Amino acid sequence: MARGLHWGMAVLVGVQLALGAMAVTWRVSPAKVELFFWHKSLGFLIFALLALRLAWRAVDRAPPLPAAMPDWERTAARANQALLYALLALLPLSGWIVNSAANVPFRIFRIVPLPAIVPPDEAVTRAFARVHLGFAMLLLLAVAAHAGAAWRHHRVRRDDVLARMLPWGGRT
């Protein structure tokens, strides 16, 4: 379950970053509206999956890290993973603020009407669009460090941290 959520969400987050970048750069057209529709809907799906994932993590703990791992690496790994979780919540929340401040009516997947969390305000829209972009850049950096560390475990340290996490890996 934890691995399924991890890799499923990793794919969704990749698609989501691409959709966001496409939606902002596309020329004004029905296709742009459609890109934003999918970007916002998928953003809330990721938000919901995050809640499920944190709940799951609370009952089914991750296996311990290799005993040989130095303390600073453990701290770095935990800090970066906490940052990844935080960003997966802060991105939908900041996007929601942009959407509310821009006063755009929206139904998630054309079904669930999205209430506004802030009143309409152009300055807030612009400021939070920048915050949202900043969070997206930070997410890219954090994922790069995270994937780089996973690669290092596998090829340099040659431990099982990546192998046990792979969808086809064995249970430890």
Nearby residues of 131 by Cβ (< 8 Å), 6 or more positions away: 94
Q: Provide the minimum distance between the beta carbon of 83 and ligand HEM in the complex, in angstroms, as a whole number.
A: 9
From CA 87, how far away is CA 138, in angstroms rounded? 8
In this structure, the dihedral spanned by the alpha carbons of residues 61, 63, 67 and 71, taken in order and rounded to 10 degrees, is -50
How many Cα atoms within 13 Å fall on the side-chain side of residue 127?
7
Q: Provide the minimum distance between the beta carbon of 172 and ligand HEM in the complex, in angstroms, as a whole number.
A: 9
Which helix or strand (DSSP H or E) is residue 10 part of?
helix 2-25
Q: How remote is the C-alpha of 117 from its chain's centroid?
A: 21
**Using CB under 6 A, which of 32, 44, 73, 121 touches ligand HEM?**
44
Q: Provide the minimum distance between the beta carbon of 74 and ligand HEM in the complex, in angstroms, as a whole number.
A: 9
Q: Does 99 bind ligand HEM (CB under 6 A)?
A: yes
Q: Does 35 bind ligand HEM (CB under 6 A)?
A: no
Q: Does 101 bind ligand HEM (CB under 6 A)?
A: no
Q: Provide the minimum distance between the beta carbon of 2 and ligand HEM in the complex, in angstroms, as a whole number.
A: 7
Nearby residues of 145 by Cβ (< 8 Å), 6 or more positions away: 80
For residue 107, what are the β-bridge partners? Answer: 113
Residue 118 or 143: the one with the smaller Cβ distance to ligand HEM is 143
> Which stretch in 27-35, 43-51, 66-74, 116-124 sits in contact with ligand HEM by CB under 6 A?
43-51
Give φ, ψ of 167 to 5 degrees.
-55, -30
Interface positions with ligand HEM (CB under 6 A): 6, 10, 13, 16-17, 20-21, 24, 39-40, 43-44, 46, 57, 62, 65, 81, 84-85, 88, 91-92, 95-96, 98-99, 129, 132-133, 136, 139, 143, 146-147, 150, 161-162, 165
